Structure 1
Amino acid sequence: MRAVEEQVVQPCPQCGVEVRGDRRFTVWCAACDWNVDPQEAAEEKQGRLERRRRRMAQQYGERLLGDLATEAGHPQRERPGRSAAGALAYTIALLVHGVTLALLVGGLWLLIGDWGGFGMVPGLFLLGLAATLRPRPNRLPADAHVVPRSVAPELYALVDEVAEALGTRSVDTIVLDAQANASVTHLGVRRRVLTLGLPLWEVLSPQERIALLGHEFGHFTHGDTRHCMVVGTAYGSLTTWRYHLSPIGNPTVPELFVNLCYLPPRWLITGLVTLLDLLTTRASQRSEYLADAAAARIGSAEAAAALMDHLLVVESIDTTLYREVNARQMSSRGRVSAKDAEGLWEALAAHLRSVPELCLIHIVRCRPRGLCRARRATARY
């Protein structure tokens, strides 16, 4: 009954063709693409760097789709760090860290060489600057919900089995959170962490869960230059540089002069970030698609394709979860018991099943089209 109430039938304001849709999602015209990308106007308000990233992602996605079709679904394994672009990205990242090291050494030299004198002031300044720019490996948040192996042995056994099937090392820690997502990352040099969002995990079928794990471990198998420790921490240092060199708001005359002095180094930092994006975008996307291929190999092509469809509407899952939780809080006057939480995951799964296929087609038709098409094509291979 609710699905019928959500249906929308209206003429297209652009071509006049009858448009049928679901009011919960974007209503668009398949005949003329009216309203196919309602965020296009918002995109024009984005910064130059973000627009450039989006255009590169779209172009690379289209090219990768052609590559995957040519390779008949069996892309060659590529380690981005071994390519010329990956080597140049590593070189730039090492230079960024070299500047931080030079600041540290210079600060120590001034501090020790002029102990008790005026040279201690710039020495302390350089040490403080180096401290803010230092490489920061990933750390678990203090409020992370870590699941020990002793508490969930079957989950760890499944994760270990998927990792072994893909020929990579398993994770050391599993973390649960409330976001409809999943990810893997490194802690320090060796530790691996798998984060599972319960809203996504609970609405997936058993085979789709295996495909999800296969995708995440595919990142470890194929690598990703952008998220490795050297390049990833260089991104963090460059972001800190941009923060330090950001212009002063409502400047006085002296502050206006400072803003002008900040322009050349800020342009340099922006150029380095853009260059790193350019050098790592294709390798990063290819790693993503190879991870999709790993999901299809370990969980079946049907499960991987279904997982891709679920991920297309992941924001809708979050919205439904918040709505269901708020409804339960209101009915219980803010005191939610275990009984009130009954049926929560079933409601999420029912919502996911009610998403019309036209909505999925709309998302694929939206920009960047190449990304969605290539990912779904890879999963189906």
Structure 2
Amino acid sequence: MRTIGEGLLESSQCPQCGTEIQADSRFTTWCPACDWNVDPGGPEEKTGRLEALRRTLAQRHGEKLLDTMSTETGTETGAAGASRGQRAHRDVYGALAYAVALLIHGVTAALFLTGIWCVVSGWGGFLMLPGLFLLLLGFALRPRLGRLPKEEDNGVVLRRPEAPELFALIDEIAEASGTRGVNAVAVNASINASVRTYGLRGRLLTLGLPLWESLTPEHRIALLGHELGHYSNGDTRRGLVLGSAFHSLGLWLHYVSPIANPATAIQMITNLAYVVPRLLLQGVLMLLDTLTLRATQRSEYLADSAAARAGSTNAAVGLMDRLLVTDSIDITLRREVNNRRLRRSGQTRGTEGEGLWEELAAHIDSVPESEYERQRRVGALRGHSVDSTHPPTHLRRRRLLEGAAVAGLVAADEERVGRIAGELAGARRTVAREVVRDGVDGA
């Protein structure tokens, strides 16, 4: 028995096949030879019927797309390679999806116009009340341009003058992906990264520090390449028309969601009255999901290619492995936050978050390869995906490994990494203090 990282390397014998097992005491003991105890938690807990159906469709489409995209030159180098074959096909399904989205917006417009007619024609009379209700409902469901998040709600928002080296790296990766960079970067405490638009042409990149600090410089380049790749490959689901249609449907479903634990006859009748419209809305949402899922999953595969072009195939595959251990990132972060909150009484105000990101990065760096391999096998068994819009992770990984390996167009030497870290220093301190003060997801 010897120390490894923060735990102990223990030897034991597999009770199923007798193979000798070397295991880190911090992680699940399992047998690579026969997969004994590879997934002690069993299948993931069942979610709602809608989400379960989404995940089933995601796996089915992901497998079909993997076959059809195997010959695509998704990892060509250079901006020219990034632009060829990168637009998601706007086939008949895409046209139908736009038609459904426009119909949803048409209903919203009809509500608003009917509300105006009721108010004007029934001024001072009975029609005023339903007219105002329809106006408010139409206003709530209107398509909206995104806005920059407020710093008090979303960590720290950086602009170019505040982080020139970070934005220069983003611009270089965007050029390799065949697109332009972003206008702002939001740094927060989520274990995630994403891009979205705001206003008419503004682009926002959101970086969750727990994820960012858990990655190597090469993984970070691949992460940025993946996110920016969504702009270059025509991910229509993130656009104004389809994106706002999904938002409107989500609001409708919220409005007709059943009242929990109804205590009166009126509440019971209301719940009963909600059944048909709720089923209808869920059906429309599933239809829109089905029509856009192929293009969305294709976009994810192409974004993986952009990640490989920017950071290298090895970096893109390594990034996916890190995403498999996000539960470990979450657990470690909660543990460190709780430790600091317990010690807070003896600390100088404002210093309680010091060392948080370093501790998190050290833990993730110490995760043994055996745990990554276990997570890969569990992911394949469960059909793991980041969410219901992503192809299963093991299929994304396989596609990159079976394609032609690329070295990556963008590099980050130690000096560049240091300069970017300096630009993020203030945001790191701010977000660390917020996490210690507020906990992780309210913990």
Does the 8 Å contact 1:292/1:378 carry over to 2? no
The count of aligned residue pairs is 380
1:118 is matched with which residue? 126
Report how far residue 3 of structure 1 moved.
4.3
1:376 matched to 2:405? The reply is no
Q: Please tell me whether the aligned partners of residues 43 and 51 of structure 1 are also in contact (alpha carbons under 8 angstroms).
A: no
Structure 2: how far apart are the matches of 1:59 and 1:356? Answer: 32
Moved more, 283-292 or 339-348: 339-348
The whole-number CA distance in structure 1 between the counterparts of 2:88 and 2:162 is 37
1:184-218 per-position Cα deviation (integer Å, ceiling 9, x unaligned): 11113211011122233334333332222211110
Give the alignment of 1:1-381 within 5 angstroms: 1=3, 3=5, 5-7=7-9, 21-30=23-32, 33-38=35-40, 40=42, 42-44=44-46, 46-71=47-72, 77-80=85-88, 82-142=90-150, 143=152, 144=154, 145-248=156-259, 249-250=261-262, 252-333=264-345, 335=347, 343-366=355-378, 367-368=382-383, 371-380=392-401, 381=403
RMSD across aligned positions (CA): 2.8
Which structure has greater helix proportion? 1
Give how far 1:94 is off.
0.9
For residues 371 and 126 of structure 2, what CA distance do their matches in structure 1 show?
A: 67
TM-score (norm 2): 0.77
Q: 1:156 to 1:252 in 2, by over 3 A?
A: same
Could you state the TM-score of these two structures normalised by the residue count of structure 1? 0.88
Identity of matched residues, %: 52
- Quote the Cα distance in structure 2 between the aligned partners of 1:81 and 1:108: 39
| Deviation of 1:31 (Å) | 5.1
**Secondary structure of 1:115's match?**
coil
Report if the CA contact (8 A) 1:162-1:214 is conserved. yes
Compute the displacement of 1:157 (Å).
1.3
- Pick closer, same or farther for the CA change 1:347–1:257 going to 2, 3 Å: closer
Structure 2 counterpart of 1:104, one-letter code: F
* Cα contact 1:57–1:368 (8 A) shared by 2: no
Provide the secondary structure at the position in 2 that maps to 1:192. Answer: strand
Tell me which residue corresponds to 2:420. none
Cα contact 2:7–2:26 (8 A) shared by 1: no
Structure 2 counterpart of 1:53, which letter? R
For residues 62-113 of structure 1, the C-alpha deviation after alignment (integer angstroms, 9 at most, x for no partner) is: 2233334344765972533612212111111111111011000000001001
d(CA) in 2 for partners of 1:338 and 1:160?
A: 34
Q: 1:107 to 1:297 in 2, by over 3 A?
A: same
Q: Which segment drifts farther, 46-55 or 32-41?
A: 32-41
